[in-house]
Structure 1
Amino acid sequence: MPVVKRPTPFRLASYTSLDSLLTRKEQNASNAALNDFIQHASTVTLGSSANLDLDDIEAARPVLTTGNGQSRFRSLLVEVCFVFSMAMTQFLTEYSTFGFGIILPALEQHGLISDTVSALWPTSVLTLIVSAFTLPFSRLSDMYGGYPFFICGLLWLALWSLIGSFSKNEIMLNVARAMQGLAIAAFQPASFSLIGSSYKESRRKNIVFGIYGACAPVGSYFGMFVSGLAVKSDHWNWYFWTAAAIAFISAVFAYLSVPMEPPERHALNLKMDWYGAGTVVTGLMLVAYALSASSHADKGWASPGVLAPFSIGVLSLIAAVVVEWKFAACPLMPAEFFKPKGLKPMMLMLLLWWGCFGLTLFYATFYMEQVIHIPALQMAIWFLPMAIFGVVMATVGGIVMSLIPFPYLLSLAGAGWIIAPLLLSFVPSDSSSKSYWAFIFPALLALTLGSDLTYTVSNIFMTNVQPLQYQGLAGAFASVLVNLGVSVSISLADILSSAVEVKNKPMVAIRVVFWFAAGLSAAGLILCVLFVRIPKPTSHLTPDE
């Protein structure tokens, strides 16, 4: 008597979301109904199934409610919940990274920050931790599926945002910010893994990544807006409470909507490369620390507190390369990952462009706050065009990317990257509305154009060219390039601005930094035009689309 093979035993990594549990229940019911039909038909035919028609057998199987050809969701509502939870991770990342700078004066007034040097750490420790721990978390996502690290990362962010809101001293604040970075390092590669495994290469996938990328400027703006309100009301805690609430709500939506991951993942046989993880984490953290501390150390690079960690960090990164490509049985950074055409120059291009993004946004905020002394809430209003234009880009981006070759879109993004810091370098030292509309407003639009196109195009390309076992790694590299570019560029700009600083003339150093950002963007555009070659993706509308 033929018996249909039942699903594999329960796996925590794959079946813990509500949608996954429902899918598994439907599969069990489907197989049970088919077995009953076969047994009944076999009894009727005196124990022989030879006369059973295959079409009749398949017709007896109940129709599952999951899947629509290009995605694996049981309904549009479930898919909307899924996209919301994925997009909110990008929103929360930018909210936590760029919104924090506005509440620094309030933190200083409440005794949580004592001077400029101490203000550097809660600002940069988050991106430092994200850069260092993203690769190990990407491997864990590829090994066990993205869902457990996605949901735990959101809940961890909610917890430490809540703890950070009750900070009583610098140490508690720095630890809370570091733990927020650890949460982001966990859920960012997991979100890539989940999106990559939930959608085939299609216009629908492009639209999802467009929404995902648009949440970067929206999250940055919302962080600034909430920070401005918190500072104005003298309740800086609200910045952390808002992050905790959004993270918790996103976790609930993810529990309700994340689909069951494909069973092929359990056959990948991936293992954690602990030696590679240790050397990568140590190297990135020590190098980033040295770059951040060098401009504020008494002896600069000659200070033992800077030179020692930098030297050890560089040696650790060299050891990581040797371990990964020579000795590791299952490396975190396998050579096969870098083989797709155009990937390596694109990664260098992204490092330069995200460095420009961090510099431009950070020093634009610094200019408004420290040079022209505009109120925090007005500053948030000035950044509003970034959020609006980001939504517009999300609306049309997915469709446009199916019609225009990616290299052309990246060239357009490169133009935006160059224009933004150049315009800001001509801003006068006053707060007139003419200066805003002539320089700051178009610069913010250009910055949003560059960041949205770059993020969406690079994410689509990296997930399309990588197999299932490298989906989490693709997300990890995308996140590392963003955070490493921001962290390193801000540290280098801090060194540069300290070298050219003129007493009582802060605009001199700020303009030099903007020129440096424009130079990074120009170098990235040259790489894009000469070396980045990306084929147009194959994406077609499905009947339901």
Structure 2
Amino acid sequence: MVEAIDRKMILLITGIAAFITPFLGASMNVALPQVGAEFQPDAVLLGWVVTAYLLSTAIFIVPFGRLSDMYGRRIVFIAGMTATAVFTLMSAVSDTIWLLLLSRVLQGIGSAMIFGTSVAILTSSFPPKDRGKVLGINVALVYLGLSLGPVVGGIITQQVGWRYIFVLNGVLSLIALGFTLWKLKEDVQCAEKAPFDIGGCAIYGIMLFALMYGLSLLPDISGAFWIVGGLVALAIFIWWELRHKAPVVKLSLFVNNVSFTFSNAAALINYSATFSVSFLLSLYLQYIKGMDPQTAGLILIAAPVMQAVLSPLAGRLSDRMEPQYVASAGMAITTVGLLLFTLLSSETSLLYIVGSLILIGLGFALFSSPNTNAIMSSVDRCDYGVASGMVSTMRLVGQMLSLGIAMLTFSVFIGRVQITPEQYPLLITSIKVAFIISAVLCAAGILASMARGKMRKNTSEPVVQKA
């Protein structure tokens, strides 16, 4: 049994890991113009500084989660923290755009090792009655990173340059690595005789690359072809996994485990409905309201600040009552917040906007950590790695889908033209339609969240809902 003092260190280690990645991503978005000014890449290549990281992370999360279940989570987590530290510092000294892109890909692979293990380590280290609380703290640190990223990243970029964003994250990674080597002693592995599913990993990687790359190309027609290719690869992947002795993804988790299936579906829907909110409102505040980026950014942190503050409380609440009810209530509140944004106009007050953001932040806080608690509590101890990886995969795919929906509405109403004052009425229309689609998605997510069933027989014993 892990001692209480060790549990605190595990919470600290996984908390630093949870903070680093969203902080780096959010701060790098602010620094992209300076990166572009230094290396002079075209717009597409500059966009790959962000996309390359997301793709490599998404592709490798589940395979590393599976490896951690088979061979031990500690060793995979340590490898991930090491890779993240090394390649983050490599990004800081990159002297060409291509070296920076390579560093970002390798950094994404390191992050995949962390994502595939950190929640699993946290879940296996705490008893069921405390899982919601600690997962809530973990989620809060994710949103703390999202909240501080644009502010701290902007200050660092303006004062000393974009490279020091990577230096700061590299130092944080080294600190987390030191704590890991010092304190993380206990490991969990499930011995299996069958070889690792390399073929399944390859098909999975091709499938996810095609789907996520296709979503990034929308609304261009080439994006649709990539998505169709990804769906074909998905069919091949299912066929392959059903025939492998030790599949990289146990499809039985989805087929026979109602709680796991619908909790993941709810996560995918929620991220698909909410991730583009800050993107859409950033355009609205700057184009329609005439704000500068810094002022717009300060308004937009209202939602992640609410998420960071309330996620631990929501997680603790899911320890005392069914995650099904807490997460579904959060999804319903988020739906109301999205519906409020469908009424945007050029005359909408800032108080209305901030209030709606706070409502969405409250809803997402109530949804996220209880839903993660439900996913991790619905599987056996030996499947924590795959479950942890699936949580992150749903998040990343949902984020890409959300941006794809936003870009699709822009294509339909505005087209491929520069946004000028003459286009502002069409911009507002496209933003409102995107929020309508998101609200409908979120409403459907309430059904998925409720369909998972109850997670425990009483207040402390989780019970897996079988099909």
Would you call these one fold, judging by a TM-score over 0.5? yes
Question: Once the 2 structures are TM-superposed, how far is the Cα of residue 479 of structure 1 from its aligned partner?
Answer: 0.7
Question: Once the 2 structures are TM-superposed, how far is the Cα of residue 449 of structure 1 from its aligned partner?
Answer: 2.4
Distance 2:179 2:286 in 1: 37
3-state DSSP class of the match of 2:185?
coil
Deviations 1:301-348 (A, max 9, x none): 2x5xx56644543332221110001x2111122233222233322322
The one-letter amino acid of 1:219's match is G
Match of 1:482 among 375, 395, 398: 395
- State whether residues 59 and 204 of structure 2, in contact with CA within 8 Å, keep that contact through their aligned partners in structure 1: yes
Alpha-carbon spacing, 1:291–1:386, altered in 2? closer, same or farther (3 Å): closer
Question: Once the 2 structures are TM-superposed, how far is the Cα of residue 394 of structure 1 from its aligned partner?
Answer: 3.9
Counterpart position of 2:58: 131
Consecutive unaligned residues in structure 1, runs of 5 or more: 1-66
Distance 1:269 1:201 in 2: 30
Alpha-carbon spacing, 1:443–1:146, altered in 2? closer, same or farther (3 Å): farther
- State whether residues 217 and 448 of structure 1, in contact with CA within 8 Å, keep that contact through their aligned partners in structure 2: no
Alpha-carbon spacing, 1:364–1:166, altered in 2? closer, same or farther (3 Å): farther
3-state DSSP class of the match of 1:260?
coil
Matches within 5 A, 1:14-53: none
Alpha-carbon spacing, 1:260–1:118, altered in 2? closer, same or farther (3 Å): same
The answer to whether residue 249 in structure 2 is matched with residue 328 in structure 1 is no
Counterpart position of 1:43: none
Deviations 1:6-45 (A, max 9, x none): xxxxxxxxxxxxxxxxxxxxxxxxxxxxxxxxxxxxxxxx
The answer to whether residue 197 in structure 2 is matched with residue 273 in structure 1 is yes
Matches within 5 A, 1:43-122: 67=1, 72-73=2-3, 75-76=4-5, 78-115=6-43, 117-122=44-49
Question: Once the 2 structures are TM-superposed, how far is the Cα of residue 470 of structure 1 from its aligned partner?
Answer: 0.6
Match of 1:348 among 256, 262, 265: 265
3-state DSSP class of the match of 1:535?
coil
Alpha-carbon spacing, 1:190–1:370, altered in 2? closer, same or farther (3 Å): farther
Deviations 1:218-253 (A, max 9, x none): 111111112221343362223222222222212222
Give me the CA root mean square deviation: 2.7
Distance 1:412 1:159 in 2: 42
Distance 1:240 1:147 in 2: 25
Question: Once the 2 structures are TM-superposed, how far is the Cα of residue 165 of structure 1 from its aligned partner?
Answer: 2.5
Distance 1:212 1:361 in 2: 22
- State whether residues 127 and 484 of structure 1, in contact with CA within 8 Å, keep that contact through their aligned partners in structure 2: no
Distance 1:238 1:427 in 2: 38
Larger Rg: 1
**Range with bigger deviation, 502-511 or 148-157:** 502-511
The one-letter amino acid of 1:281's match is G
* TM-score normalized with structure 2 length: 0.88
Distance 1:371 1:236 in 2: 29
Counterpart position of 2:111: 184
Question: Once the 2 structures are TM-superposed, how far is the Cα of residue 459 of structure 1 from its aligned partner?
Answer: 1.9
Distance 1:270 1:245 in 2: 39
Counterpart position of 2:181: 255
Match of 2:84 among 142, 157, 177: 157
The one-letter amino acid of 1:331's match is P
Question: Once the 2 structures are TM-superposed, how far is the Cα of residue 273 of structure 1 from its aligned partner?
Answer: 0.7
Alpha-carbon spacing, 1:399–1:458, altered in 2? closer, same or farther (3 Å): closer
The answer to whether residue 165 in structure 2 is matched with residue 239 in structure 1 is yes
Matches within 5 A, 1:128-527: 128-202=55-129, 204-233=130-159, 235-262=161-188, 265-269=189-193, 271-295=195-219, 300-301=220-221, 303=222, 306=223, 309-325=226-242, 327-338=243-254, 339-368=256-285, 372=289, 374-429=291-346, 435-439=349-353, 441-501=354-414, 503-504=419-420, 505=424, 506-527=427-448
Question: Once the 2 structures are TM-superposed, how far is the Cα of residue 81 of structure 1 from its aligned partner?
Answer: 2.1
Alpha-carbon spacing, 1:389–1:453, altered in 2? closer, same or farther (3 Å): same
3-state DSSP class of the match of 1:182?
helix
The one-letter amino acid of 1:512's match is V
Distance 1:404 1:255 in 2: 36
* TM-score normalized with structure 1 length: 0.76
Alpha-carbon spacing, 1:93–1:538, altered in 2? closer, same or farther (3 Å): farther
The one-letter amino acid of 2:281's match is A
Query: Percent sequence identity over matched residues?
Result: 19
The one-letter amino acid of 1:319's match is I
Distance 1:174 1:487 in 2: 19
Question: Once the 2 structures are TM-superposed, how far is the Cα of residue 375 of structure 1 from its aligned partner?
Answer: 4.2
Distance 2:282 2:104 in 1: 20
How many residues are paired up?
452
The one-letter amino acid of 1:355's match is S
Distance 1:166 1:176 in 2: 10
Distance 1:366 1:238 in 2: 27
Alpha-carbon spacing, 1:224–1:427, altered in 2? closer, same or farther (3 Å): farther
